[in-house]
A = this chain, B = another copy of it.
């Protein structure tokens, strides 16, 4: 192995970058690709990179890793913890951390590329590696597509991707069907009428309107969705008013919605709109609320046949029992845009990053939820080994399964 993967990972972890600002990260990737002699292009979709290893006839397999960090202040206490800062879209100076593990994704994909490029006698076909920016904004995949990545590189026959997750290191989690939820981000502006806090009758109180709306939105999941279906209606932010004694004119809610497929999306969106409008009417609002869909992420749906093949391939490579069904995740991803756009199958799997002994102890104590830091936590800290190795191996095994 030419690349010291542990050193690479530690370096990336120390230097996280916010979405669409992954210039140093892309530079590190480019330097390694150049050293490996692999063909690549930079600056696709602003800060993305794609690389290609052409090895004769055969299927085209795309391997995707995302590169961006998060505006989180790292609290892991690790020797290599991030102290980086960045400028968020609102112009604020914020701490930055690889709290979602994309540093591991980049590390594993570079490792897998080296392995595949150095063993071209064992496979034929084409491997395209996509180092994607801005997954956290749900915008990077579409930016790369808009920038022509599907035309500038061999079009995929299959798209593969992976994500490190709080499963025991060594374990792979994958299921056919919906693996990650579709999601929408909505901003709802409730329009009331402001006035002095001592004279509520002269106002249309948007704080009460907002509170009633939040309470009513709960009933969509509790009453209107089949209890066996997955749906999430989160109000992630609520903002109204400047001070105690002034009733403001507006309230703003930011919602995050999750569902397993496009049909459920339509149903839930319609319900949210119905509730929001009716609650404004209940308040006697003069104007209906404004509902903006800020961004939409598609469901990450694993192809049933490709998933079955991959499951068996992982079993053969890593032993039976390595693959578990992680259930559907209610989090969302933008990787599937590549497969949707190309009209080809996708498989997206999870691989574990938690010390198995720690995991087992937490499980025994029924403290998984409280004791194992999840992605986006300031305490998120995958163990380096065997996490790095399993990430590399999984990509190599998966790529070979679909190459000739």
| Selected interface stretch from A115-123, A229-237, A308-316, A393-401 | A229-237
- Residues in B whose Cβ lies below 8 Å from that of A221: 221-222, 227
- Residues in B whose Cβ lies below 8 Å from that of A283: 219
| Selected interface stretch from A43-51, A102-110, A322-330 | A322-330
User: Is the C-beta of A125 less than 8 angstroms from some C-beta in chain B?
Assistant: no
The residue of chain B having its C-beta at the shortest distance from the C-beta of A242 within the complex is B237
User: Is the C-beta of A279 less than 8 angstroms from some C-beta in chain B?
Assistant: yes
- Residues in B whose Cβ lies below 8 Å from that of A278: 278-279, 281-282
- Which single member of B220, B227, B328, B332 contacts A232 (CB below 8 Å)? B227
CB <8 Å contact, B228 and A222: no
How many chain A residues have a CB neighbour from B under 8 Å? 81
CB <8 Å contact, B237 and A240: yes
Q: This chain: how many copies in the complex?
A: 4
- Which single member of B198, B255, B284, B327 contacts A329 (CB below 8 Å)? B198
Interface residues of A in 189-217 (CB under 8 A from B): 195-203, 205, 207-208, 210-217
Shortest A62–chain B CB gap in Å is 25
CB <8 Å contact, A332 and B198: yes
CB <8 Å contact, B248 and A199: no
User: Is the C-beta of A238 less than 8 angstroms from some C-beta in chain B?
Assistant: yes
User: Is the C-beta of A374 less than 8 angstroms from some C-beta in chain B?
Assistant: yes
- Residues in B whose Cβ lies below 8 Å from that of A238: 207, 210-211, 238-241, 251
- Residues in B whose Cβ lies below 8 Å from that of A202: 369, 374
- Residues in B whose Cβ lies below 8 Å from that of A186: 244
Q: What CA separation (Å) do A220 and B218 show in the bound complex?
A: 9
0/1 per residue, A326-365, Cβ < 8 Å to B? 0111111000000000000000000000000000000000
- Residues in B whose Cβ lies below 8 Å from that of A214: 207-208, 210-211
Shortest A259–chain B CB gap in Å is 10
Q: What CA separation (Å) do A217 and B205 show in the bound complex?
A: 14
User: Is the C-beta of A271 less than 8 angstroms from some C-beta in chain B?
Assistant: yes
11 contacts between A and B (CB under 8 A): A196-B331, A198-B227, A198-B234, A199-B226, A202-B369, A208-B218, A211-B214, A219-B222, A221-B227, A236-B243, A238-B251
Q: Beyond the given A198-B258, A208-B223, please list 15 additional residue pairs across the A-B interface where CB-CB is below 8 A.
A: A195-B376, A196-B331, A198-B330, A199-B227, A201-B226, A205-B219, A207-B214, A212-B216, A218-B218, A221-B222, A222-B222, A237-B240, A237-B241, A241-B254, A246-B376
**Residue positions of A touching B, CB distance < 8 A:** 181, 183, 185-187, 195-203, 205, 207-208, 210-228, 230-248, 251, 254-256, 258, 271, 274-275, 277-279, 281-284, 294, 327-332, 369, 374-376
